[in-house]
Amino acid sequence: MKILQVSDSYLPFPGGVAEHIYNLKKALEKRGHDVWVLTTQYYGGTREDKDEYRDERVIRIGKVVVLPPLKMFNATQLTVTFDPLLHLHVRDFIRRNRFDVVHLHGPLAPNLPGIVSHYSPYPQVATFHTAFIGFNWNKIGKFLFCRDSRKIRKYIFVSRVAKEAIYHVYRSTGIIIPNGIDFERFYKQKEKLIKDQTDKIRVAFLSRLEPRKGLDILIKALAISDFLRNNVELIVGGDGPLRKKYEFMARASGIKFKFLGQIERGKVPAFYKSLDVFVAPSRGGESFGMVLLEAMASGVPVIASNIPGYMEVIKEGFNGILFENESPEYLSRKLMFLIRDNAMRNSLVNNALRFARKYDWEIIAERIEKVYLEVA
């Protein structure tokens, strides 16, 4: 089949959706499909990044615009495609090409997938990656995009949380197919990103530095306890609008820390291999938690807030630990418990490895392929 994937973000632009589409494209190509991507221009990243992701079947139009974190946008950065002639470019591209299936990622909005949905006459599938904090803008969007929503033959949700944000608005049933990971890429990694020797326990965070991701909760949790303050080094991967604030906060709290900035995609497995514990303290708005699976596949024990999206990945005491959302006190106690209990850490790691292997992209891509065959 000739398949078109559509998204406002694609590698080397960092993010879970970009990672999702890149790996899905590779897995589908292994299965013999002709896979194209329509996305936007990204002017950041290194020259090596751009060379690595250059592909004649990846068509880039316009330029990416990242809006700051606002509550009306799920308290996270919003990625949109800007081009004064965007509608004309999309319409021309659709007219010049024929596809068996068009797969939209994040549609039903005035964005690139939404515009493609409007102009495309081909069978459409849509994956919804988002959960919401506060107001669900789809309640308004359904009036604006009702006609285009009827063109989508199959709705895919990456989790129950993502489904609940959409299905009752558009009256769609759909199917849940979770995010995937390249399991072997993380499992087989040997080299560590941080090579300096230390007697400290490395507890890490990896995400955008914005309010929703909750790094301040982790910093406060480490500062509460003398044991953690004296025995833990916080490793922060990622960048964002709150970096200076969080660096000041960590310095003032008296904890030992390293801010590494944005981790290049090729170095992410080596980042995980450098760690003793991985923490995901997000306040909400997470539909799944791909970073949890990546850490699990890397053999790192995981602690996460007990928000719905993360609870679909972590089974308490089996493949990870959950703490009360937005509570540094709970997180501090859970960290001390995990650090002191070698048997628990080993049990979590072994169970998590078996769990994460089920989410390998070869397995997930086969499920998505079956959806394509239904609608084509």
Residues 113 and 40 grouped into a single domain: yes
Residues 68 and 215 grouped into a single domain: no
Residue 97 has pLDDT above 70, yes or no: yes
Residues 210 and 228 grouped into a single domain: yes
Three-class SS state of 74: coil
Whole-prediction pTM = 0.91
pLDDT tens-digit readout, 138-191: 666 665 676 777 889 999 999 998 888 776 666 667 899 999 999 999 999 999
Residues 201 and 248 grouped into a single domain: yes
pLDDT tens-digit readout, 287-342: 899 999 999 999 999 999 999 999 999 999 999 999 999 999 999 999 999 999 99
149 is in which domain, residue-wise? 2-180+360-375
In Å, how far are 239, 246, 298 from 233, measured between CA atoms?
Answer: 18, 15, 19
Residues 42 and 99 grouped into a single domain: yes
Pairing of strands 277-280, 201-206: parallel
Residues 143 and 12 grouped into a single domain: yes
Within 8 A by CB and 6+ apart from 88, the residues are none
pLDDT above 70 covers what percent of the chain?
A: 89
Residue 13 has pLDDT above 60, yes or no: yes
CB atoms within 10 A of CB 133: 18
Selection from 79, 75, 85, 44 nearest residue 65 by Cα: 79
Residues 334 and 192 grouped into a single domain: yes
Residues 208 and 275 grouped into a single domain: yes
Selection from 47, 82, 78, 39 nearest residue 62 by Cα: 82
Residues 130 and 260 grouped into a single domain: no
Residues 347 and 201 grouped into a single domain: yes
Residue 40 has pLDDT above 70, yes or no: yes
Which CATH number characterizes residue 298's domain?
3.40.50.2000
Number of domains in the chain: 2
Residues 66 and 152 grouped into a single domain: yes
Residues 207 and 103 grouped into a single domain: no
Joined together, the tokens standing for residue 213 give: 């991701």
